[in-house]
Amino acid sequence: MRTWSLVSAGVFLIGGLLLGQSAATKPRARDLGVPFDGTPGPLNAITDVSGVAVGTRTLIRGEGALKVGDGPVRTGVTAILPRGKTDNDPVYAGWFSLNGNGEMTGTTWVEESGLLAGPVAITNTHSVGVVRDAVIAWAVRNGKMHEDEWSLPVVAETWDGFLNDINGFHVKPDDVFAALDSAKAGPVPEGNTGGGTGMVCYGFKGGTGTASRVIAKADGGYTVGVLVQCNCGRRPQLTIAGVPVGKEIPGNEPYAMTAPPGSRARPVGSRSNDEPPGSETRGDVGSIIIVVATDAPLLPHQLKRLARRASLGLARTGSISGNGSGDIFIAFSTENRHIDDAPGPNTVKTVSNDRISPLFTATVEATEEAIVNAMVGAETMTGVNGHTVGALPHERLKEVLKKFNR
């Protein structure tokens, strides 16, 4: 069993288990008084959609100067299983690319078939290949595929190279297996966890976030859950509950330093990687992956419509989805079962298009809150070459919201 620790970050990794504040006790955006619209589910997480399981593997070790292959390491893997670990029944799905400077494998078959058969995994940009292959190996190892079957896993990425030795290829198959094997219902860890470990969002520390919405019984009473891996946006863009938080908490604050104390600041206009994504000198060079789950009976084309609405939730937080951003979203429904059984025909049900708008609203609201939850749940992190990204300061956020009567 590998034991890694980074005391300065207050994070300990022992055999892939993140110790410290639990997902249940860590403050979330609502705990800070952020006023969101809509009614969340019991957990306010993607796992409020019955059957959905989430697993993570968080890799944190080393500090100081970058030595490619050795570290420092600030990365991981997140796995979302639509029907948990034991149910292999495929789900209907649809995907959407708001800006394609990123990757989500397997989506050409999702588009063609309307089916998602297996997990959605999220990691860093240069680990997509190993994660994809490991997802297949995990399925084979667990008897989920026969010899004559094939698999096109859905694996997505965002870039964590400001904090992580991304060219060191530290995510291994065993890490993917651990994320998949640990998948469960219940609270989902947020912030510096899983694939979101080394991410930066709006110039603050970003990472993994989740939220959910339950629509009114008159509209079906369905649940929509969202999980994001956010690594996007520029500081001045950040908007929370309609408040220009990024402009009120500018990047020259001590908790938003782009380099450790005593180091020489880069000149304005520098394109060096010593400036984090979201800084004024580098602009919007990040990405965001959004996974939308629902128990509403929707067909693939309707799920694509849901995936598109995640764009509006992202826009509420201020993003314009810049040229350098890979903003790719996927939505799936757990409701219809045995949809691809042979020889068919198979019977399915669906929500009328005339009744789908409340699900659009739920997607927008849950996406917005999931992004803010990722930032609220994140903690200041120091990574390669002493690069430091400050967390969104909770008390300052409350002050800014109060200033704008929110």
- 56/7 Cα distance (integer angstroms): 20
**C-alpha distances out from residue 47 to 292, 335, 361, Å:** 11, 14, 19
Which are the contacts of 233, defined by CB distance < 8 A and separation ≥ 6?
A: 201, 202, 203, 278, 284, 286, 317, 318, 319, 325
* Annotated active-site residue in 165, 175, 274, 327: 327
Task: Based on the residue annotation, tell me whether 325 is a catalytic residue of this protein.
Answer: yes
Rg over CA atoms, the chain: 20
- 121/128 Cα distance (integer angstroms): 9
Task: Answer for the pair 347, 110: CB distance below 8 angstroms, yes or no.
Answer: no
- 103/124 Cα distance (integer angstroms): 10
Number of other CB atoms surrounding residue 354 within 10 Å: 6
* Annotated active-site residue in 212, 279, 287, 333: 287
* Annotated active-site residue in 212, 319, 321, 325: 325
Task: Based on the residue annotation, tell me whether 37 is a catalytic residue of this protein.
Answer: no
Q: Give ∠ CA 188-33-37 in degrees, rounded to 5.
A: 75
Number of other CB atoms surrounding residue 33 within 10 Å: 12
Task: Based on the residue annotation, tell me whether 311 is a catalytic residue of this protein.
Answer: no
* Residues acting as catalytic residues: 287, 325, 327
